[in-house]
Amino acid sequence: MKQLNYAKGKFGEEEAKQFLIDKGFCFIEANFKIDFGEIDLIMSDNNWLVFVEVKYKSDNYMGMPEEMIDKRKLSQVKRVAEFYLMTHPEMKKLFIKYRIDAVCILGQDFRYYKNIYA
């Protein structure tokens, strides 16, 4: 079951990546991991460095993808994003602003949320 969930997650991340590229974003990195968390996608949107949380569900049997992004998850993403900026000073120079976005996918329905940690 764990392997199936991992495969679904990777599928969702690839779908979200292409969705954002089609919207004009540029891909930088996927699956930036440290001990206390992970950023699914790191993209750029004009002058913004964008940390993207991706939630994919094939159906809504156990709820909506958005319900999986709570305050704890957002706080974790923010901490990992700040660590990324500390360890990648070149990105701080290239992008003067950063934000956290989300792509929630339910089946074939994509919903994009900009600046969810405001």
What CATH number is associated with residue 39? 3.40.1350.10
Please report whether residue 67 resides in a domain: yes
Which structural domain range is residue 19 located in? Answer: 2-113
Torsion of CA 46, 49, 51, 57, to 10 degrees: 10
- What pTM was estimated for this model as a whole? 0.93
Q: How far is CA 7 from CA 10, 54, 59, 106, 113, in A?
A: 5, 14, 15, 15, 23
Please report whether residue 77 resides in a domain: yes
The predicted model gives 74-93 an average pLDDT of: 95
What's the pLDDT tens digit per position in 27-42?
999 999 999 999 999 9
Side-by-side strand order, sheet with 26-34: 26-34, 37-45, 48-57, 97-106, 109-113
What total number of domains does the chain contain? Answer: 1
pLDDT of residue 117: 81
Please report whether residue 118 resides in a domain: no
Asked if residues 13 and 41 have their Cβ atoms less than 8 Å apart, the reply is yes
